[in-house]
Amino acid sequence: GLVTTVAIDGPAGSGKSSVARRAAERLGFHLLDTGAAYRSLAWLVLERGLDPSVEADVLGVLDDFDYAVDVSGPVQRFSVGGVDVSDAIRTERISGAVSGVARVPAVREAVNVRFRALIAEADPGIVVEGRDITTVVAPDADVRILLTADEDVRIRRRIGDVGDDAGVAERLSARDRSDNQVVDFMTPAPGVTLVDSTHLDFDETVQAVVELVRTQE
């Protein structure tokens, strides 16, 4: 049948953001980076001078979380209350704060409503990437993929992105451990295809994703 929704989950540093972006380009699909929504909320909590690890602080700003995303282009822009936060949400400060925000159930419910609306509107299709897309956000997606790589490879790729920083490995592992307590993105759920990129380069990984979509069509 016709594929309209491609769900991709995976841990931090699996390369899923860049793989999802290139796969979406090749398929002519929209792209939805769900982690950016959690990052944007973490940004708002910090912007208000509140503590992202305190649930009451997070819930206190949730009603004001006026989040907008443009899913139509290859370079997505995110804004909160009209402020473009696309660059601000990529800092290590936000990476360190985001897991606290993401573990609040009311937050997950609120962003999932938005994600499902964006998925329903996407024409001709959308690639959605995150941690719980194959299991919670879009369990009925046409193609569901868990993208992984061995931890040492993920750490090396991440160091390649941000420079040789001794704290990177530790922070990456800590964030995955914390996130994985909320949703399991290390083992594929029934019906989810595991794509292990440990021995694949970027283009090969994109190709593996695109082929899974083509064989489904």
Q: What is the C-alpha to C-alpha distance for residues 86 and 71, in angstroms, rounded to an integer?
A: 13
Tokens of 172: 């990456």
- Of 49-57, 125-133, 157-165, 187-195, which segment contacts ligand C5P by CB under 6 A? 125-133
Q: How far is the CB of 44 from ligand C5P (least distance, A)?
A: 14
Told to check if 132 binds ligand C5P by CB under 6 A, we report yes
Told to check if 98 binds ligand C5P by CB under 6 A, we report yes
Told to check if 14 binds ligand C5P by CB under 6 A, we report no
213: CB partners within 8 A, 6+ apart: 3, 6, 23, 27, 142, 143
Positions 140 through 199 that interact with ligand C5P (CB under 6 A): 175, 179
Tokens of 134: 């194959």
Q: What is the C-alpha to C-alpha distance for residues 62 and 111, in angstroms, rounded to an integer?
A: 10
Count of positions on this chain that bind ligand C5P (CB under 6 A) = 14
Q: How far is the CB of 217 from ligand C5P (least distance, A)?
A: 25
Nearer to ligand C5P, 125 or 130 (CB): 130
Per the listing, tokens 């282009």 go with 73
Q: 169 vs 50, 163, 178, CA distance in Å? A: 27, 12, 14
Told to check if 39 binds ligand C5P by CB under 6 A, we report yes
Told to check if 102 binds ligand C5P by CB under 6 A, we report yes
- Of 18-26, 52-60, 97-105, 196-204, which segment contacts ligand C5P by CB under 6 A? 97-105
DSSP E strand boundaries for the chain = 5-9, 30-33, 67-69, 78-80, 83-84, 126-130, 143-148, 193-196
Instruction: Give contact residues for ligand C5P (rule: CB under 6 A).
Output: 12, 34-35, 38-39, 98-99, 102, 130-133, 175, 179
- Residue positions forming the annotated binding site for ATP: 10-18
